[in-house]
């Protein structure tokens, strides 16, 4: 056979390779789909081959049928999580119906059924299915259901809080890379520590595809909870297709539309009008400003009944918050008017230990640090490398070359740095009623976030289906790290955020297309391609 001149044969060979790969996923269970399997027996316990087994998705009416093999077994692999109806019909037996079977992502749900002798027109309906252990999978996992995601109270509508309380998991360190308290990533916390592991070595997924931020180890996009059907958390005994991480595998299963329209609209708010007044530093201060609004909505349903479905949502988070009042040391009013002259510190010296109050006591107090610097040779124009801040007294001016106290506490004109004087002038005047060198104030912090998700599902036939989804997650944050103003009147930034000046933007995108084709009830092709930008 000449494959070079046979495009169709090359295509068949490619599909055979892909299909062979897809059959391995039946045994290596995916984290985003489920399986329903079982054995069918007669009243004597013997296996019954040739029984027609039909499985129908109750939300989309997607239906699959197969017949039991020679050992009476059947398996429906790669099912979307949801509610299903199972019907079994065999010659010489009454039909059997299981009206509702609920499966979550990663489940291998076994339903072994026994048929009774009877006519084909007689149907036996099982009203409830007892919960059973999943003996076909060794993975240790927890599932946060859609009801839990939607109904349990979540501060900031952050689904991570539900993951943190599952078995073996807890919140990571307060100032960790994924905590939301650092300039690297100021979005809501994605910190999860599982079985004592670090909170930055988890494997984050959406519908089974990658959702990991690669630099600091946090999460990529954070979908709105309205778009989440469930969250699957695997903590141990991973299957080979996902076992690349020492932490947990956290897989978000997104919500699809159904044959009925459903939606939501909401608004959560906090406001300083509902807060108490602060009383600090012996003063009654104005309440820090607080304007926090989180609002949005969702809508899903059919485009073409039983064929095409849509789901979309949008969520906005707007926060402007003043911090509590705090204190920062600033130059006194005299020092502002006389840059480089700190002699007012001598006049205001209150004494310390054996040193008396006033200028004379201050001079003796500052000069006492000179003794610790004697005996060192200082070259001309070279700063003494042995002078350390701990050897000198706070508030005292020392010569940077000799380490000796400067009489009068006035920096020599020849040693006044022009850039330093300009920076010095940026400090605000003190406003403390009790201390001439302190500034009392508060700063505003803000965060503006917009998240939107969209998903389309289409069923071409009982054998072919496709879905596509996209999540956009943009966040801009500005944190307040001190009571001093962020910028001067000229617009110069004087308070960088831990080395990151200005706001901390975070842009994240995640998309996926998934195609499923059933060659036979037991031979499936499941192909996915995804995109992640963080």
The tens digit of pLDDT for each residue in 486-513 reads: 555 445 555 544 445 456 778 899 999 9
Q: Which contiguous run of DSSP H or E holds residue 14?
A: helix 7-27
Burial class (CB in 10 A: 0-12, 13-18, 19+), 495: middle
Please provide the DSSP assignment of 471-511 as one string.
Answer: EEEEEEEE---SSS-SB-TT--B---BTTB-S-EEEEEEEE
The tens digit of pLDDT for each residue in 18-59 reads: 444 443 333 334 567 888 999 999 998 899 999 999 999 998
**Structure tokens given for 5:** 């001149």
Contact 249, 238 (CB under 8 A): yes
State the DSSP code for 158.
-
Does residue 272 have a pLDDT over 60? yes
State the DSSP code for 182.
B
Burial class (CB in 10 A: 0-12, 13-18, 19+), 7: exposed
Contact 309, 469 (CB under 8 A): no
pLDDT at 367: 86
Q: Cα separation of 238 and 138, whole Å?
A: 8
**Structure tokens given for 433:** 């009623």
Q: Cα separation of 46 and 513, whole Å?
A: 43
Contact 497, 183 (CB under 8 A): yes
Tell me what percent of the chain is helix, strand and coil, each rounded to the nearest 5: 15, 40, 45
pLDDT at 296: 96
pLDDT at 183: 59
For residues 453-481, average pLDDT: 89
Within 8 A by CB and 6+ apart from 146, the residues are 228, 229, 230, 255
pLDDT at 243: 65
Contact 409, 396 (CB under 8 A): yes
State the DSSP code for 392.
S
Q: Cα separation of 70 and 48, whole Å?
A: 8
For residue 352, CA distances in Å to 332, 358, 361, 373 come to 21, 11, 8, 21
pLDDT band at 467 (very low <50, low <70, confident <90, very high): very high
The residue with greater pLDDT, 125 or 509, is 509
For residues 158-172, average pLDDT: 83
Q: Cα separation of 142 and 375, whole Å?
A: 69
User: pTM to 2 decimals?
Assistant: 0.69
For residues 93-99, average pLDDT: 90
Q: Cα separation of 421 and 177, whole Å?
A: 37
The residue with greater pLDDT, 483 or 498, is 483
Hey, how many other C-beta atoms are within 10 angstroms of the C-beta on 174?
10
Q: In degrees to the nearest 10, what's the CA dihedral of 370, 373, 379, 382?
A: -80
pLDDT at 391: 63
pLDDT at 125: 65
The tens digit of pLDDT for each residue in 274-285 reads: 887 766 655 666
pLDDT at 24: 34
The residue with greater pLDDT, 196 or 30, is 196
Q: Among residues of the chain, what percentage have pLDDT more than 90?
A: 25
pLDDT at 138: 58
**Structure tokens given for 258:** 């159904």
For residue 208, CA distances in Å to 1, 115, 212, 249, 451 come to 39, 36, 12, 10, 20
State the DSSP code for 237.
S
The tens digit of pLDDT for each residue in 408-435 reads: 999 888 888 888 888 788 788 888 877 7
Pairing of strands 34-41, 108-110: parallel
pLDDT at 228: 92
Contact 57, 84 (CB under 8 A): yes
The residue with greater pLDDT, 241 or 437, is 437
Computed over every residue of the chain, the mean pLDDT equals: 80
Compute CA 498 distance to the chain's CA centroid, rounded to the nearest angstrom: 22
For residue 223, CA distances in Å to 146, 436, 500, 513 come to 14, 50, 27, 17
Does residue 14 have a pLDDT over 70? no
Residue 113: helix, strand or coil by DSSP?
A: strand
Phi and psi torsions of 314, nearest 5°: -145, 140
For residues 451-462, average pLDDT: 93
The tens digit of pLDDT for each residue in 358-381 reads: 899 999 888 887 744 444 444 444
């Amino acid at each position: 056979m000449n494959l070079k001149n046979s495009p169709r044969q090359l295509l068949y060979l490619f599909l055979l390779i892909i299909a062979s790969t897809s059959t391995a996923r039946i045994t290596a269970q995916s984290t985003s789909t489920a399986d329903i399997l079982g054995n069918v027996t007669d009243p004597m316990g013997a296996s019954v081959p040739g029984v027609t087994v039909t499985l129908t998705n109750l939300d989309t009416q997607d239906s699959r049928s197969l017949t039991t093999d020679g050992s009476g077994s059947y398996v429906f692999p790669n099912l979307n999580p949801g509610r299903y109806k199972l019907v079994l019909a065999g010659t010489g037996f009454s039909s059997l119906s299981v009206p509702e079977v609920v499966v979550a992502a990663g489940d291998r749900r076994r339903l072994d059924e026994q048929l009774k002798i009877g006519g084909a027109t007689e149907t036996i309906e099982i009203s409830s299915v007892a919960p059973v252990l999943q003996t076909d999978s060794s993975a240790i996992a927890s599932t946060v259901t859609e009801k839990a995601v939607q109904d349990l109270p979540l501060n900031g509508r952050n689904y991570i809080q539900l993951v943190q309380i599952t078995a073996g998991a807890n919140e990571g360190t307060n100032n960790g890379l994924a905590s939301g308290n650092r300039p690297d990533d100021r979005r809501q916390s994605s910190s999860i520590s599982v079985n004592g592991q670090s909170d930055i070595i988890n494997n984050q997924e959406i519908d089974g595809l990658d959702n990991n931020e690669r630099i600091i180890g946090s999460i990529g996009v954070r979908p709105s909870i309205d778009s989440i059907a469930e969250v699957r958390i695997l903590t141990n005994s991973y299957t080979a297709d996902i076992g690349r991480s020492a932490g947990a595998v956290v897989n978000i299963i997104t919500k699809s539309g159904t044959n009925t329209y459903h939606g939501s609209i909401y608004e959560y708010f906090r406001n300083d009008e509902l807060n108490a007044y602060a009383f600090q530093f012996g003063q009654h201060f104005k309440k820090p400003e607080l304007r926090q609004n989180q609002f949005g909505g969702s809508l899903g349903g059919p485009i073409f009944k039983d064929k095409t479905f849509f789901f979309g949502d949008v969520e906005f988070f707007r926060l402007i918050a003043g911090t509590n009042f705090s204190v920062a040391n600033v130059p006194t009013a005299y020092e502002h008017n006389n840059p480089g002259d700190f002699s007012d510190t001598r006049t205001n010296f209150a004494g310390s230990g054996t040193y008396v109050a006033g200028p004379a006591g201050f001079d003796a107090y500052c000069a006492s640090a000179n003794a610790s610097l004697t005996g060192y040779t200082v070259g001309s124009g070279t700063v003494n490398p042995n002078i350390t801040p701990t050897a000198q007294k706070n508030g005292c001016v020392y010569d940077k070359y000799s380490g000796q106290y400067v009489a009068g506490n006035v920096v020599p004109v020849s040693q006044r740095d022009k850039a330093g004087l300009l920076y010095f002038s940026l400090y605000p005047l003190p406003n403390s009623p009790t201390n001439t060198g302190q500034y009392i104030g508060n700063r505003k912090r803000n965060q503006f976030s917009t998240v939107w998700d969209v998903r389309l599902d289409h069923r071409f036939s009982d054998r072919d289906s496709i879905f596509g989804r996209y999540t956009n997650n943009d966040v801009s944050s500005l944190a307040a790290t001190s009571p001093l103003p962020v910028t001067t009147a000229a617009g110069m930034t004087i308070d960088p955020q831990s080395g990151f000046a200005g706001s901390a933007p975070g842009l994240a995108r995640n998309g996926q297309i998934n195609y499923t084709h059933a060659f036979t009830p037991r031979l499936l092709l499941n192909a996915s391609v995804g995109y992640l930008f963080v």
